[in-house]
Structure 1
Amino acid sequence: MLHKLIFQLGERFRNPSIRKWFAFLKQSENWSIKELEAYQLKQLKSLVSFAKAHSDYYKEKFAAIDPASFSSLADIAQLPILSKEDVLLHTEKIHTKHNFKKVFKATTSGSSGDPLVYEREESADSFNRASIFRGYSWHNVQAHERNGYFWGFDFSTSKQFKVKLLDALQNRFRVFDYKENAFKKFVKKLQRARYIHGYSSMIYQSAKLINDQKLPKPKHIKMVKGTSEKIYDSYKEEIKKAFGVPIISEYGAAETGIIAFECAEGNMHINMEGVIVEEIDNQIVVTNLQMKTFPIIRYQLGDYIELASKDIKCSCGKAHYILKEVTGRIGENVYGKKEIYPSLYFYYIFKNLANKHNIKLTYQIIQKEKGILIFNLEENLNTKDEQKLRQEIHSYFANDIAYSICPNVQKNAGKQKNKSFISYL
């Protein structure tokens, strides 16, 4: 297969260690939890020693810490927490002074603040890609297979040409225009695709187009993967109907690498060979065990999470701990007339509606003035369901917030990540 050969040549050129890492990860996915945690402890000690020796920032922060004395993963608590502000303020100092053979310039999206620009060594980059490919293998997918990609498309004509060339080398295609005709052409191309990935909101919109207009459904899709955005309960049925398989989730960040990947049984397994995940006050704290150019150690990523009990075993057979849910972003406030509330309340309002009443809604909440909210919903609501939504809103905000409910509002998918709460205050 020509596409497979081109993909592998490109892979070998850019990520020469990826095959080694993939083979390792396929072996370690069968390890016991004891073996996985032993590997994590070994990597943690090595990482902290390296960071202390080669990073000016960690030289100061870890001055009184002897990683050689660590006897269990619980000893990670001796290390200070790293905030996003720390990372942005001390980017240069955090970088290690070491001669890595090959490095890549990496940039975060900056969707929740200023973008971060840093360097990542080839080994860490290859490990991260191999982690994604391992996740694909759980769904009988190989990365070189024909795939449709839903990502931002705010490109100039010259950039579009470059992106199309890079996509062709990776046997993938994407939509560059959100107009219906362009989307229909994209959907037609999906007939030859084996998997779909990207922004969940755009995948959902394509599924709706297929279902509503009764377009021919792609018959060979093995995996639909949503990333970078919330996967609403309301998306799932529409996507399964259009593509024949459920949407699965990949969770991670540029600076932490892949944190968790969903298996065929529907559980998000933590990528334990690559990260240590702590849940502190319902917030995720991540240590990237593989990156040494720019060590990310006990990093407050900015999400609320819920880890599954360590006693829960997945029927897929993998021992890796399970991330039960990513419940929301930290630090976004909702302003009432008198009080301030966390935006996490919206997660619970709509989760309660789904769990208690089987009302699954696609929503975006807007705040332009204190004490006033606009609830934009893609779906239409009957009187009974709207009353249940009003009851849930009242249970969290009482009379401190006035609000309007706007049904049948289409979100502007495509240009960038869709956020469930937008505040202009």
Structure 2
Amino acid sequence: MIYKLIFKLGQHLRNPSMEECSLFLKKSESWSLEALEDYQLKKLKEILRFAYAYSPFYRNYFEVQNFSISQIKKIDDIRKVPIVTKRLLLDNTLEIQATYKFKKLFKASTSGSTGEGLEFSRNEEADSFNRAAIFRGYSWYRVYPWDRNAYLWGFNFSLLEKGKTKCLDFLQNRFRIFSYEEKSFAHFVQKLRSAKYFHGYSSMLFQTAKLINERGLVLPKSLKMIKGTSEKIFDSYQEEVKKAFGLKIISEYGATESGIIAFECPEGNMHLNMEGVIVEEVDNEIIVTNLQMKSFPVIRYALGDYIQLAPRDEVCSCGRKHRILKEVIGRIGQNVYGIEGVYPSLYFYYIFKNIAKNSDLLLNYQVVQVRKGELEFRIEQSINEEEIRILRKEIEKYFEKNIRYKVLVGVNLIATKHKFKSFLSNMDS
């Protein structure tokens, strides 16, 4: 197959280490939890020694924090390593970058949820390992990276960018939607009939499914995987997506600076990429250590999400022993400003989780704050007065009388730079 040959050639030229990484990851996939943790301990010591030797920031940081690598005897000793905050990472990017002369480096960048850009160099071995970890997840669904695929990742490009994107998409056997206009959308849906997997922003996957269902378009159930990333996957998305495609959206979780963290298996559990990262839950926050990236060491990094890990002894029925990430709850650090006082935006997660659990009311929502003490709850579905009453009761339980708010139903949710966020606020800017 031509696309497999193109992929293999591209892999050989760009990521020569990936074949070896893939073979290792398929082997380690069947390891026991103890074997995985032994490997993590070995790689942790290795990355700590490397960071101390070649990263000016870590050498100084470890010394100032009175941390010595000799303190690491078992995997739990990682807690003795000082935490690196996002602020430290952003302010010390150049000093974190290793001085070691790598054979091959790639530029990596992210705008980040706060809008503050991060740019660093990723060594080829780490890049290859990260890609191999993602493709291992694909293999759980009998999907290959060179299979025909649809991609939803924004479409507002200039003519030149659009041409470049189409060329790259062709080489990767990939196509995407550039407009939801009826004729263009129908052409996209026609192409979907030949696709093996469909991936991108979860809100765009949902909107595509919704339009397919509204327009009565029928698709053969040929897709093997629908993968959402970079955004929250609402429970309410799944019904629409299953109706359109016969599959649910599965989740991939990671970040540019940390690499792939977890991938959902066919049994519905998100397995940690234990060979690539160590994940800790500290006061409900994720602390992540990348075990493979030496060019820009990311060690005990407070990524900025609230998470929930499953107990260590919880095992998935798929047979994989990699620990399970129960849930990515939401972003840390976004404040809601009441008439008096400040509240965490995490409240919104609990408000809508509670009404889903107690009243079986699954809602696509977005909360907007433009002024202090005022909120706008935007609900995509059209809900009745009793359901609005249930929502109001839950809102007032968390904010009491310290917030003036209105509930808008049957409205479109707002995307910024093509990406959906469940809470929008300009109060901290």
Coarse TM-score class (shorter-chain normalised): over 0.9
Tell me the residue number matched to 2:34. Answer: 34
Q: Distance in 2 between matches of 1:307 and 1:25?
A: 22
Find the partner of 1:354 among 353, 356, 377: 356
Tell me the residue number matched to 1:149. Answer: 151
Asked if the contact 2:415–2:421 (Cα under 8 Å) also holds between the matched residues in 1, the reply is no
AA at the equivalent of 1:40: Q
Tell me the residue number matched to 1:410. Answer: 412
Q: Identify which range, 9-18 or 130-139, moves more after superposition.
A: 9-18
Q: CA deviation at 1:104?
A: 0.2
Tell me the residue number matched to 1:20. Answer: 20
Tell me the residue number matched to 2:54. Answer: 54
Q: CA deviation at 1:113?
A: 2.7
What is the DSSP-based 3-state SS (H/G/I as helix, E as strand, rest coil) of the residue aligned with 2:330?
strand
Tell me the residue number matched to 1:305. Answer: 307
What is the DSSP-based 3-state SS (H/G/I as helix, E as strand, rest coil) of the residue aligned with 1:60?
helix
Once the two structures are superposed, residues 75-101 of structure 1 have per-residue CA deviations (whole angstroms, 9 ceiling, x without a partner) of 111211101111111100000101100
Tell me the residue number matched to 1:365. Answer: 367
**Residues 414, 209 of structure 1: alpha-carbon distance in 2 compared, 3 angstrom cutoff:** farther
AA at the equivalent of 2:153: W
Asked if the contact 1:192–1:218 (Cα under 8 Å) also holds between the matched residues in 2, the reply is no
Asked if the contact 1:273–1:289 (Cα under 8 Å) also holds between the matched residues in 2, the reply is yes
Find the partner of 1:296 among 295, 298, 308: 298
AA at the equivalent of 1:330: I
What is the DSSP-based 3-state SS (H/G/I as helix, E as strand, rest coil) of the residue aligned with 2:34?
helix
Q: Distance in 1 between matches of 2:156 and 2:310?
A: 38
Once the two structures are superposed, residues 331-358 of structure 1 have per-residue CA deviations (whole angstroms, 9 ceiling, x without a partner) of 1111111121100000011111111111
Q: CA deviation at 1:156?
A: 1.2
Tell me the residue number matched to 1:133. Answer: 135
Q: Identify which range, 366-375 or 67-76, moves more after superposition.
A: 67-76
What is the DSSP-based 3-state SS (H/G/I as helix, E as strand, rest coil) of the residue aligned with 2:5?
helix
Q: Distance in 1 between matches of 2:167 and 2:58?
A: 41
Q: CA deviation at 1:69?
A: 4.4
Q: Distance in 1 between matches of 2:185 and 2:12?
A: 33
Alignment of 1:43-82 (within 5 A): 43-63=43-63, 64-82=66-84
RMSD between aligned alpha carbons?
1.2
Q: Distance in 2 between matches of 1:377 and 1:218?
A: 31
Q: CA deviation at 1:217?
A: 1.6
Q: Distance in 2 between matches of 1:121 and 1:383?
A: 56
Tell me the residue number matched to 2:229. Answer: 227
Q: CA deviation at 1:408?
A: 1.1
Tell me the residue number matched to 1:84. Answer: 86
Q: CA deviation at 1:180?
A: 3.7
Q: Distance in 1 between matches of 2:302 and 2:185?
A: 38
Tell me the residue number matched to 2:324. Answer: 322
AA at the equivalent of 1:215: L
**Residues 401, 414 of structure 1: alpha-carbon distance in 2 compared, 3 angstrom cutoff:** closer
Q: Which runs of 5+ in 2 are unaligned?
A: none
Q: CA deviation at 1:413?
A: 4.9
Alignment of 1:197-346 (within 5 A): 197-346=199-348
Once the two structures are superposed, residues 163-207 of structure 1 have per-residue CA deviations (whole angstroms, 9 ceiling, x without a partner) of 111111110011122434322321221010000001000000010
Find the partner of 2:101 among 91, 99, 102: 99
Asked if the contact 1:178–1:414 (Cα under 8 Å) also holds between the matched residues in 2, the reply is no
Asked if the contact 1:152–1:414 (Cα under 8 Å) also holds between the matched residues in 2, the reply is no
What is the DSSP-based 3-state SS (H/G/I as helix, E as strand, rest coil) of the residue aligned with 2:227?
strand
Asked if the contact 2:381–2:410 (Cα under 8 Å) also holds between the matched residues in 1, the reply is yes
Asked if the contact 1:151–1:414 (Cα under 8 Å) also holds between the matched residues in 2, the reply is no
Q: Distance in 2 between matches of 1:389 and 1:422?
A: 19
% same residue: 56
Once the two structures are superposed, residues 230-272 of structure 1 have per-residue CA deviations (whole angstroms, 9 ceiling, x without a partner) of 0001101111111111110000000100000000000000000
Q: Identify which range, 168-177 or 46-55, moves more after superposition.
A: 168-177
**Residues 132, 231 of structure 1: alpha-carbon distance in 2 compared, 3 angstrom cutoff:** same
Asked if the contact 2:259–2:290 (Cα under 8 Å) also holds between the matched residues in 1, the reply is yes
What is the DSSP-based 3-state SS (H/G/I as helix, E as strand, rest coil) of the residue aligned with 1:145?
coil
Q: Distance in 1 between matches of 2:49 and 2:112?
A: 30
Tell me the residue number matched to 1:8. Answer: 8
Q: Distance in 2 between matches of 1:207 and 1:414?
A: 20
Asked if the contact 2:142–2:224 (Cα under 8 Å) also holds between the matched residues in 1, the reply is yes
Asked if the contact 1:128–1:257 (Cα under 8 Å) also holds between the matched residues in 2, the reply is yes
Asked if the contact 2:71–2:80 (Cα under 8 Å) also holds between the matched residues in 1, the reply is no
Q: Which runs of 5+ in 1 are unaligned?
A: none
Q: CA deviation at 1:412?
A: 4.5
Asked if the contact 1:121–1:292 (Cα under 8 Å) also holds between the matched residues in 2, the reply is yes
| Residue 361 (structure 2) pairs with residue 385 (structure 1) | no
AA at the equivalent of 1:278: E
AA at the equivalent of 1:33: L
What is the DSSP-based 3-state SS (H/G/I as helix, E as strand, rest coil) of the residue aligned with 1:348?
helix
Asked if the contact 1:187–1:206 (Cα under 8 Å) also holds between the matched residues in 2, the reply is no
